Structure 1
């Protein structure tokens, strides 16, 4: 009796497995015969930097309309190739493309956020993103960020900032400023010469800040905050034209 019960359970399990495989096989055949119904793009644009939009992404996917996707059989659509095509857009930090069960292609993309803009006559204009990538200019949108200028820009634009030791130092300087509400609001422009000496131009006050090399960031900005918070209110906002932070434990103003 016990053996019959075991055999019965085994038969049920096998039958269930056969049904499941049949359903999967049918679903695969059905999906293979489906065509792409539509494309839906979800663009993470939380920082309101409208360098590209959904239409730009669809243009990349379709190779500017040469590769029609909607209405094409999914057997003829290579999602990996399309994803690689979209990822060539440097304004995108990431892009994932997949299909759903309804026959649509879904795109999840995230824009890079710029935190500095390169403005130097001798080099092409562009942006630096928060992950250190050099971005091209945009015809659609101009982001209000810190301006970077100076003769060192010729060297800086040769590669992403994280690729060189000099670039990493400038990247850390930009990240420091971007991460502090006071300095982000206070600093308008940074000029860097061939020797990587930094000059800072503030938004409001007229003093040029001689920062020196982009190192000892916390100590130098601490001294600069003392200058703004304690010295200028006492001496007058237009008393000094330059302030030097290069020397340890000293603030030189003239």
Structure 2
């Protein structure tokens, strides 16, 4: 009977590969975590620190460094990080060298509510707590704070943030009541009665035309109230 050595060699090679893979996998699972790196993505990294993330992990998951990789559940670690109210998104993974990397996107405030409760309104329209580490320079929201008026304030802020001039100059939104919103500007004495959130594009287009003309005439200081509440009109009240 003739022995086919090629089959034998192939079988031995397969056994060796499986054995090496199993050995490498065993070593990988039992390798201890070395460095822990926290990376904040984007340009909005002012409200949460690396130390705060590490403390959060220790308090809710236990010590991570020097633990075997097989004892760590990445999804659970991500959930722990996401439990912090300053975090918008988190991704956690291991490197081949046993380093644990946490990539974190922080939430972005676009308005600050000053009422009975004080908090930020973030760029998704959700409530966001104030930070001990940084105070955001965003428009202040005052007046009649309700769920509906905050929804409307978010729509106004979202529009303002899309316009360079408005984003730099609007410093406050005062809510008189639902459907009556008033804007305050950084360099001007007048207030802008916006009315409701209907037809924002037309209202601000009319306002910009008024502002450009009044700035050219050096008459901006003459006005106390600029109203955009009426259809396709800018009604001004002088001081």
More strand by share: 2
Task: State the match for 1:21 in structure 2.
Answer: 18
- Quote how far apart the aligned CAs of 1:12 are: 6.2
Pair 1:54-2:53 in alignment: no
Pair 1:75-2:75 in alignment: no
Equivalent-residue separation in structure 2 for 1:230 and 1:224 (angstroms)? 10
Written as runs of structure 1 = structure 2, the 5 A alignment for 1:79-228 is 79-120=74-115, 122=116, 124-151=117-144, 153=145, 155-156=146-147, 167-228=150-211
- Helix, strand or coil: the match of 1:238? helix
Task: State the match for 2:39 in structure 1.
Answer: 42
Task: State the match for 2:235 in structure 1.
Answer: 252
Instruction: Tell me if structure 2 keeps the 8 A contact 1:186–1:203.
Output: yes
Instruction: Tell me if structure 1 keeps the 8 A contact 2:149–2:178.
Output: no
Q: Deviations over 1:194-234 (max 9, x none)?
A: 32310001111111111000121100001111111113533
Instruction: Tell me if structure 1 keeps the 8 A contact 2:153–2:173.
Output: no
- Quote how far apart the aligned CAs of 1:52 are: 0.7
- Helix, strand or coil: the match of 2:15? helix
Distance of aligned partners of 1:218 and 1:15 in 2 relative to their CA distance in 1, 3 Å threshold: farther
Instruction: Tell me if structure 2 keeps the 8 A contact 1:61–1:83.
Output: no
- Helix, strand or coil: the match of 1:62? helix
Equivalent-residue separation in structure 1 for 2:197 and 2:103 (angstroms)? 37
Equivalent-residue separation in structure 2 for 1:37 and 1:170 (angstroms)? 46
Task: State the match for 1:162 in structure 2.
Answer: none
- Quote how far apart the aligned CAs of 1:170 are: 3.0
Q: Deviations over 1:95-118 (max 9, x none)?
A: 111212212211111111211111
Instruction: Tell me if structure 2 keeps the 8 A contact 1:169–1:215.
Output: no
Gaps of 5+ in 1: 157-164
Gaps of 5+ in 2: none
